[in-house]
A and B are shown apart, each in its own frame.
Chain A
Amino acid sequence: MNPQPIDRYAETLARETRDSVSASAAITTEKRVDILARDFPDPDGLRRLAGQIKQHTLEHLDDYLAKAVRALRDNGVVVHFAADAEEARKLILGLLSERGVRRVVKSKSMATEEIHLNDHLAAHGIDCVETDLGEFIVQIDGDTPSHIVRPIIHKNRREIARSFEAHGLGDYDDDPETITRRARIHLRSKYMESDAGITGGNFISAESGRVVLVTNEGNARFSMAPNRLHLALIGIEKIVPRDRDLAVFLNLLARSATAQQLTVYTQFINGPRASTQPSGPEEMHVVLLDNGRSRVLATDCREILRCIRCGACQNVCPVYRQASGHAYRAVYGGPVGAVLSPLLAGERFSDLADLPKASTLCGACREVCPVDIPIPDLLLRLRARAKEEGVRTPASIPMAPFATLATSPALWRTAMTASRAMNHLPTAALPVKPLREWLKLRTLPEWRGGEFRKWMKKRKQS
């Protein structure tokens, strides 16, 4: 088989990056196996149970979603729906602007990554600070996360120390403890001065409307203590039927993600703060995001919507370990991303149709998945779909451009996913020659957004 873009990206990834991604993913994988086997008599039975509960919920999503919405509203939560990223951004911006919000603190959320919320808010004068340590570093670097749970798995302490120095967060010091303390001090004032907190949500119980949020750092707690408005952006697939089912998922999530029995902070949020509580939001809004999920539900790959974003399939995957997350050119990398990203891309399926090919089909992802998603089967179904639709994947692209692109994840990603911007720009004016040449080989879909121009501006500055 021809090498796929991901393989090529991997070949040219800095040795150091590859080694560190690979080593830390491998360690987490081992610890995960240990803790599951030590704690549970039948960990595989538990995974199958969790998978069934989620599959059942998805196959009755109209009912459960309606129930969840009723329960949320009964709890005093204002519920909104967003069909796509644009509607979600507009909605959130509207809610914030109406209330005169200028400063927002945000707790790690893949859904907000998906809709590129930070850039949108920044463009409208709202300062939105990422508070998860890894996401904060990603933000100051103008980078994107490369792992669902460990956003900076691709960075080493020296790079981080240099960024901190460049951003006025103290003289160069690459001690992880110093880095953490400096972020702590810097972010505290951000929380305390914030007008609103934005979070994602790991689960919603349809029975009680409880929104469940897990973090280890405490940033979600801090995002909803000093300010008056809490806004949660949550995918419609995050529903579970009953409160008791939460125990199933919480027992699996942290063990699968970080080999902890439980995340340090598990929050169950049932609306604005209690009347007796002096700190915390007076208003809580939940924005339920579709953004392609209902379409995925209608395909024969709907099992992927069971995903609870633990990252175990990334850690175990030989391709991910070699290539790291940016190679997948989308918000979700690794095996989960290879399935989910092309599906969520909708009309632009063909842009990412090579991802399902970048797998050895070794089956490891299926074995670790806490909700028992048959990822290899789904990859095969997507390959078949690409073939049916006659999608040409960019396997025939010459090697040289990849070498250049792989030296900069941002460049690579932009080239591959935002290449749709190219028809809008004179290709000859591009600053990077190999990119220019590579792009000649692609037919370019219609231009959709402004991300590429921003990237160009940055390239020119640097």
Chain B
Amino acid sequence: MSDTEASLFAALRETVSGLAGRTPLPDYDETILLASGRLGSGSEWESFAANFEAASGRPMETTADLATFLKEGGHLRGYCDPLLREKVGSVLQTAGLEVSYEYDRERYDDFAFGITRASGVVAETGTVVLNDHETSDRLAALTPWVHVAVLSEEAPVHRTLSDAIRAFGDCPNVIWVTGPSKTADVEGILIEGVHGPGEQICLRL
């Protein structure tokens, strides 16, 4: 233990032990946190989709829709996680898009889209959950203008943030993504696509 660490702990102990009537850890019911209006009356996927759209995300249900979106937007070349080759990558290739299954960081600007796996979504907030185990390459989910997070059938649709927190597991890096990258730094005007993706898609298979 460094001197700084030891003397800091000594000081903290002295301070807090001298406090009269310390505040207890409150007990609470998670319903106080529930934004129930955002859950709607439909399925949890529908709530997710509505909230994700409200945050400028694009929920999609078919690979054909994705191919059309990419072509119409001129996003013709990109990366796809090799584990999604069969279900997504090859469909896009058939549709005439150029798909690479290796992310080459030297060519980061050449990838207009990046397709990686999501580990779940959160209905209440319209959030896509990514983590280090499922994301084939952090950079592939980050540098392309369009990021497509692919949600498999088995992946969980969490109802609330609290549910999503309980499902963390032991992954060293969990990222909640709620829409495309944004800023309002310049005169409060909202601009999408600052450093991260300007288009955030969630494709449910």
* Residues in chain A within 8 A of chain B (CB atoms): 20, 24, 27-28, 38-42, 45-46, 49, 52-53, 55-56, 59-62, 65-66, 75-76, 80-83, 87, 131-134, 137, 150-152, 156-157, 160, 176-177, 179-181, 183-184, 187-188, 191-192, 208, 210, 216-219, 221-222, 224-226, 236, 241, 243-244, 246-248, 250-251, 258, 260-274, 276-280, 290, 294, 297-298
Most chain B C-beta atoms within 10 Å of own C-beta, residue among A180, A183, A222? A180
Q: Please name all residues of chain A whose beta carbon is closer than 8 Å to the beta carbon of B162 when the two chains form the complex.
A: 244, 247
Q: Please name all residues of chain B whose beta carbon is closer than 8 Å to the beta carbon of A41 when the two chains form the complex.
A: 32, 36
Binds A, one of B9-17, B64-72, B85-93, B148-156: B9-17
Q: Are B12 and A294 in touch, CB under 8 angstroms?
A: yes
Q: Are A277 and B137 in touch, CB under 8 angstroms?
A: yes
Closest A-B pairs by Cβ, 7 of them: A218-B196, A39-B35, A134-B185, A274-B132, A217-B194, A176-B186, A62-B12
Which of A38, A60, A187 touches B195 (beta carbons < 8 Å)? Answer: A187
Task: Please give the distance in Å from A154's CB to the nearest CB on chain B.
Answer: 11
Q: Please name all residues of chain A whose beta carbon is closer than 8 Å to the beta carbon of B13 when the two chains form the complex.
A: 62
Q: Please name all residues of chain B whose beta carbon is closer than 8 Å to the beta carbon of A42 when the two chains form the complex.
A: 32
Q: Please name all residues of chain A whose beta carbon is closer than 8 Å to the beta carbon of B132 when the two chains form the complex.
A: 273-274, 276-277, 280
A55 to B196, CA, bound (A): 36
Given contacts A222-B195, A247-B162, A268-B176, 12 further A-B contacts (CB under 8 A): A27-B188, A62-B9, A81-B2, A176-B187, A218-B194, A264-B179, A264-B181, A267-B176, A273-B172, A276-B133, A277-B173, A297-B15
A292 to B91, CA, bound (A): 59
Q: Please name all residues of chain B whose beta carbon is closer than 8 Å to the beta carbon of A56 when the two chains form the complex.
A: 22-26
Q: Are B143 and A188 in touch, CB under 8 angstroms?
A: yes
Q: Are B188 and A184 in touch, CB under 8 angstroms?
A: no
Within 8 A of A (CB), among B153-205: 160-162, 165-166, 168, 170-189, 191, 193-197
A152 to B196, CA, bound (A): 21
Q: Are A266 and B176 in touch, CB under 8 angstroms?
A: yes
A225 to B144, CA, bound (A): 14
Q: A24-B187, A217-B181, A250-B161 are in contact. Are A226 and B105 (CB under 8 A)?
A: yes
Q: Are A61 and B12 in touch, CB under 8 angstroms?
A: yes
Q: Are B142 and A218 in touch, CB under 8 angstroms?
A: yes
**Residue of chain A at shortest CB distance from B197:** A218
A33 to B202, CA, bound (A): 30
Q: Please name all residues of chain A whose beta carbon is closer than 8 Å to the beta carbon of B127 when the two chains form the complex.
A: 262, 266
**Cross-chain pairs A/B with CB under 8 angstroms, 29 sampled:** A27-B188, A55-B23, A59-B23, A62-B9, A81-B4, A134-B183, A150-B184, A176-B189, A179-B186, A180-B183, A188-B195, A192-B108, A216-B194, A217-B183, A218-B142, A218-B195, A224-B138, A244-B165, A262-B176, A263-B178, A268-B176, A273-B132, A273-B172, A274-B173, A276-B132, A277-B132, A278-B137, A280-B132, A298-B11
Q: Are A60 and B142 in touch, CB under 8 angstroms?
A: no
Interface size on B, residues (CB 8 A): 75
Task: Please give the distance in Å from A267's CB to the nearest CB on chain B.
Answer: 5
Q: Please name all residues of chain A whose beta carbon is closer than 8 Å to the beta carbon of B189 when the two chains form the complex.
A: 176
Q: A56-B22, A192-B108, A222-B142 are in contact. Are A269 and B137 (CB under 8 A)?
A: no
Q: Are B196 and A217 in touch, CB under 8 angstroms?
A: yes
Q: Are A216 and B183 in touch, CB under 8 angstroms?
A: yes
Does B139 interact with chain A (Cβ within 8 Å)? yes
Q: Are A46 and B33 in touch, CB under 8 angstroms?
A: yes
A16 to B28, CA, bound (A): 46
**Residue of chain A at shortest CB distance from B180:** A264
**Residue of chain A at shortest CB distance from B56:** A264
Within 8 A of A (CB), among B91-116: 103, 105, 108-109
Q: Are A268 and B168 in touch, CB under 8 angstroms?
A: yes
Q: Are B37 and A38 in touch, CB under 8 angstroms?
A: yes
A150 to B188, CA, bound (A): 9
Task: Please give the distance in Å from B125's CB to the nearest CB on chain A.
Answer: 5
**Residue of chain A at shortest CB distance from B11:** A294
Q: A258-B184, A298-B15 are in contact. Are A221 and B138 (CB under 8 A)?
A: yes
A140 to B28, CA, bound (A): 46
Q: Please name all residues of chain B whose beta carbon is closer than 8 Å to the beta carbon of A247 when the two chains form the complex.
A: 30, 33, 160-162, 165
Q: Are A294 and B8 in touch, CB under 8 angstroms?
A: yes
Q: Please name all residues of chain B whose beta carbon is closer than 8 Å to the beta carbon of A272 when the two chains form the complex.
A: 172
Q: Are B35 and A261 in touch, CB under 8 angstroms?
A: yes
A60 to B26, CA, bound (A): 13
Does B7 interact with chain A (Cβ within 8 Å)? yes
Task: Please give the distance in Å from A145's CB to the nearest CB on chain B.
Answer: 11
Task: Please give the distance in Å from B4's CB to the nearest CB on chain A.
Answer: 4
Q: Are B173 and A236 in touch, CB under 8 angstroms?
A: no
Q: Are A251 and B161 in touch, CB under 8 angstroms?
A: yes
**Residue of chain B at shortest CB distance from A274:** B132
Q: Are B172 and A274 in touch, CB under 8 angstroms?
A: yes
Q: Please name all residues of chain A whose beta carbon is closer than 8 Å to the beta carbon of B174 when the two chains form the complex.
A: 267-268, 270
A177 to B191, CA, bound (A): 6
Within 8 A of A (CB), among B53-79: 55
Q: Are A180 and B161 in touch, CB under 8 angstroms?
A: no
Q: A222-B196, A262-B176, A271-B172 are in contact. Are A45 and B22 (CB under 8 A)?
A: no
Which of B4, B25, B187 touches A20 (beta carbons < 8 Å)? Answer: B187
Q: Please name all residues of chain B whose beta carbon is closer than 8 Å to the beta carbon of A46 when the two chains form the complex.
A: 32-33
A219 to B193, CA, bound (A): 11
Q: Are A157 and B161 in touch, CB under 8 angstroms?
A: no
Q: Please name all residues of chain A whose beta carbon is closer than 8 Å to the beta carbon of B161 when the two chains form the complex.
A: 247, 250-251, 262
Which of A83, A151, A260 touches B185 (beta carbons < 8 Å)? Answer: A151
A177 to B172, CA, bound (A): 35
Task: Please give the distance in Å from B105's CB to the nearest CB on chain A.
Answer: 7
Q: Please name all residues of chain A whose beta carbon is closer than 8 Å to the beta carbon of B184 when the two chains form the complex.
A: 150, 216, 258
